Amino acid sequence: MRTGKVMMAMTVLLAGALLVSCGPATPTPTQALPTVAPTTAPPTAAPTKAPPPAPEYIEFGASIPLTGKYGALGAMVKPGYEIAVADINAQGGVYVAEYGKKIPIRLTIYDDESDPTKAVSKLESLYAEQNVVVYLGGAGSDMHAAAAAVAEKNKVPYLGIAFALYSIHQQGYRYLFSPFPKSPAQARDVFEILNASIPEGERPTKVAIFQETTDWGIELGNLWKENAPKYGYQVVVYETYTPRTEDMSAMILKANTNSVC
C-alpha cells in the first residue's frame, strides 16, 4: 500500500518535471545598444572675395567764377570747398563700401570767368579728362542753370550754392542738388522781416522794385510784385538794370518822386 503511494508520487513528480522541461524557455533579456546620431560635417564657408583695387583719389571737379561779374561770390565759394575737402581728407577721405576703405578726395578747380558758356566747357573738360564723379557748382543762378544741364547729360551729381533760381528745379533734373533758399522763400522773407521789424503805424506802404535783368532777377522781381499787396505794400516803381550797373541814381530819384521811403 505504502509502496503504491510512493510510486504514484514518483510518477506525479516525474510528469511535472517533464512538463517543466518541455515548456518554452524564458528568453534572456538583452541590453539595447545606445543609438548614435549620425555626424554631419559643418558646411564649408565660401571663400571671401577680395575687393577690387581702389583708386588713388575720388575725383571732384568745380567750375567757379573767380573773375568777372561774379568774382566776389566765387572768392567766397572756393575756400569753402577747399576747407571741406581738407577736413574730409584729414579723416582719411570718404569710405567706399565697394573697396572696403576710405579714399581721399582730389578737387580740381577751373575759373569760368563768370561766363556760362565757359562754365559748360570747363565741366565737360572735367568729365572727359578727370573722370569726375561729383561737380561742385560755382556762383550765380544763370551760371548754375547752364551747368546743371551738363551734369544731367553726364549723370554726375551737381551741388549748387549761391543758387536761388527756383524755376530750374521744376524741370525734373535728377542730378541737381542745391541747399540754398529759393526765390519764393526770399520774396516772402523780405516782407515778413519788414513787418516784424517795423511797427504797423510806422512802416512804409509804398515800395520800389529794382530788378536785375537775369533769369533770377526776373523771377524774384515778379514774386516781389505778387507778394507786396498780401503784406500791405503798394509797388509804385518797377525798374530794371543790367548786372554790375554802378549808377542807380536815376532809379532812386524816381522812387523818391513817387513817395517811396
Res 141: pLDDT: 92
| Domain boundary residue, one of 152, 177, 202 | 177
How far apart are alpha carbons 119 and 135 in whole angstroms?
11
> Looking at the domain assignment, is residue 162 inside a domain?
yes
Are 103 and 117 members of one domain? yes
Are 151 and 250 members of one domain? no
Q: Which amino acid is at 47?
A: P
Are 62 and 170 members of one domain? yes
Long-range contacts of 20-27 (CB under 8 A, 24+ apart): none
> Looking at the domain assignment, is residue 165 inside a domain?
yes
Are 95 and 150 members of one domain? yes
Res 35: pLDDT: 55
Q: Which of 55, 60, 47 is nearest to 99 (CA)?
A: 55
Are 119 and 209 members of one domain? no
Beta strands in the chain (DSSP E): 58-64, 94-96, 101-103, 105-111, 134-136, 158-159, 176-177, 206-212, 234-241
> Looking at the domain assignment, is residue 126 inside a domain?
yes
> Looking at the domain assignment, is residue 68 inside a domain?
yes
Locate cell 544731367: which residue?
152
**Burial class of residue 143, CB neighbours in 10 A (0-12, 13-18, 19+):** buried
Q: What is the DSSP letter of 201?
A: T
Are 90 and 113 members of one domain? yes
Are 159 and 240 members of one domain? no
Mapping DSSP to helix (H, G, I), strand (E, B) and coil, where does residue 108 land? strand
Are 142 and 199 members of one domain? no
How far apart are alpha carbons 81 and 165 in whole angstroms?
21
- Whole domain around residue 65: which residue ranges? 58-177
Q: What are the pLDDT tens digits along the chain (261 aa)?
A: 333 333 333 333 233 333 333 344 444 444 555 555 555 656 666 667 888 899 999 999 999 999 998 999 999 999 999 999 999 999 999 999 999 999 999 999 999 999 999 999 999 999 999 999 999 999 999 999 999 999 999 999 999 998 999 999 999 999 999 999 999 999 999 999 999 999 998 999 999 999 999 999 999 999 999 999 999 999 999 999 998 899 999 999 999 998 887
The domain that holds 115 is classified in CATH as 3.40.50.2300
> Looking at the domain assignment, is residue 42 inside a domain?
no
| Domain boundary residue, one of 114, 145, 177 | 177
Q: Residue 230 in contact with residue 206, Cβ under 8 Å?
A: no
Q: Which amino acid is at 154?
A: N
The backbone torsions φ and ψ at residue 106, rounded to the nearest 5 degrees and listed phi first, read -115, 120
> Looking at the domain assignment, is residue 71 inside a domain?
yes
Res 175: pLDDT: 97
Are 173 and 65 members of one domain? yes
How far apart are alpha carbons 168 and 145 in whole angstroms?
6
> Looking at the domain assignment, is residue 191 inside a domain?
yes
Are 68 and 162 members of one domain? yes
Q: What is the pTM of this model?
A: 0.74
Res 38: pLDDT: 56
Residues 6+ apart with CB under 8 A from 246: none
How far apart are alpha carbons 245 and 88 in whole angstroms?
40
Are 87 and 148 members of one domain? yes
Q: Cα torsion for 58, 71, 217, 165, to the nearest 10°?
A: 10
Q: How many folded domains does the chain comprise?
A: 2
| Domain boundary residue, one of 127, 156, 177 | 177
Are 221 and 247 members of one domain? yes
> Looking at the domain assignment, is residue 227 inside a domain?
yes
